[in-house]
Structure 1
Amino acid sequence: MPGDTKARIQEVARELFVRQGVQNTSLRQISERLGITKPALYYHFASREDLVRSILQPLVDDLERFVDTRPPGEARAGEARALLEDCFELMWRHREVTTMIVRELSLLGTLDLGERVFAWQRRMIALLLGPDPTPELQIRATVALGGMSDCTVEYAHLPVAQVKRAAVEAAAAALALP
């Protein structure tokens, strides 16, 4: 089943990339771990870069979909907290990919990820605070979003409910939400 093989390759590659880093993981290691030949791996992915892009793309797609499907404008307090909770859940789902990126910042150039993340953050701030927040509120929102993202990586070993509760509460406090 080609689809299953491709998904298994991505799963094993993601695991090794998170643990060892992208540059320290060879395609040979991935193929040996799967019990397939390197040519079989190349059948599904033309290069390591192609494989890395395939692992990063779902994060990009989910971030875009997240901000594109919400109505623009300032969220009311209850809506802002719900938006933070939804945002945390998105970040938690992609915590392994975020760990890959944090370990190897050169990945930010892949899929123009660095600029996309900043653009996504600006759009999230606009969703939370409206189109013209003060610089102080923008800074608070940046701390809130960045802190939640950091928590998904740093505390990935803890139960998600525990991390989510504390991270969302801290983000809400940073934004001075009731």
Structure 2
Amino acid sequence: MVRQQTDTRAQIRAVALELFSEKGYEKTSLREIAERLGITKAALYYHFPSKVDLLRELVQPMVDDVAALLDAVERAGGTDPRRFLADYFDVIARNRTVFMVLINDIGALGQLDLVPEIFRWRGRVQSVLVGPDAAPGDAARVTVALGGLQDAALLLAADHVAEVRAAAVDAAHRALTP
């Protein structure tokens, strides 16, 4: 039976994400990914010319998810901060494994040149939550609120998502209040 190209790409992405999560991006080779799948390295290169191309495809849905959330809120002219924090928590939780790969292997962020994009997200989130001309204290509160919310989504939510989400959103919302 011949594999569908999209099935092979999806299998490669799944195995790569699993190995990147286990070993880190830098310590995982394309050879290991190919061996785990039972395909040749040449077959893997057919689908992904480089490891960074594979990583980029793994990260892109997360980038799109964050961008879609921010675009929707900005188009609407703002939102209730608590609603936004809940939606942001959901985005982080939904992309938890990819976030963890990037956090655990900071070099991967550099490979994708994502650091400037992450800082742009933070600026956009700050504008949504406290306005574009935030005072330093407001900016600090946004940083604390988002950092705590992200950490809760990444580190605590695996087994108790609803409970952690409610507590994290509540705490982040309180952090925003002067």
TM-score over 0.5 (shorter chain): yes
Alignment of structure 1 residues 84-163 onto 2, 5 Å: 84-163=85-164
Query: 2:30 aligned to 13, 27, 49, which one?
Result: 27
What is the root-mean-square deviation of aligned Cα atoms in Å?
Answer: 1.6
| Aligned equivalent of 1:15 | 18
Contact kept? 2:142, 2:175, Cα under 8 Å = yes
Does 1 or 2 have the higher relative contact order (CA < 8 Å, sep 6+)? 1
- 1:164 aligns to what? 165
State which drifts further: 118-127 or 158-167.
158-167
State how far apart, in whole Å, the 2-side matches of 1:16 and 1:152 are. Answer: 21
Deviation at 1:112, TM superposition (A): 2.1
Q: Which residue type is aligned with residue 36 of structure 2?
A: R
How many residues get paired?
174
Q: 1:69 is paired with a residue of what secondary structure? A: helix
Unaligned runs of 5+ in 1: none
| Structure 1 position 30, deviation (Å) | 1.0
Which deviations, in whole Å up to 9, do the C-alpha atoms of 1:68-112 show, x marking residues without a partner?
12136564xxx1100000000001111111101111111222332
Give, as a single letter, the amino acid of the residue that structure 1 aligns with 2:129.
L
Moved more, 129-138 or 39-48: 129-138
**Residue segments in structure 2 that go unaligned for 5+ positions in a row:** none
1:66-77 paired onto structure 2 within 5 Å: 66-71=69-74, 75=79
SS in 1 for 2:92: helix
- SS of the residue 1:7 aligns to: helix
Residue 165 of structure 1: how far off its partner (Å): 1.2
Q: Is the 8 A contact 1:152 1:163 kept in 2?
A: yes
- 1:66 positional shift: 1.6
In structure 2, give the amino acid aligned to 1:158.
Answer: D
Partner of 2:53: 50
1:95–1:156 Cα contact (<8 Å) kept: no
Alignment check: 8 A CA contact 1:74 1:130 kept = no
Structure 2: which amino acid aligns with 1:174? A
Tell me: CA distance 1:74–1:67, structure 2 relative to 1, closer, same or farther (3 Å). closer
* Contact residue 85 and residue 172 of structure 2 kept, 8 A: yes
Q: Quick check: 2:15–2:37 contact (8 Å CA) kept in 1?
A: yes
TM-score (norm 2): 0.91
CA contact (8 A) 1:55 1:97 kept: yes
What TM-score do you get using the length of structure 1 for normalisation?
0.91
Secondary structure at the counterpart of residue 73 of structure 2: coil
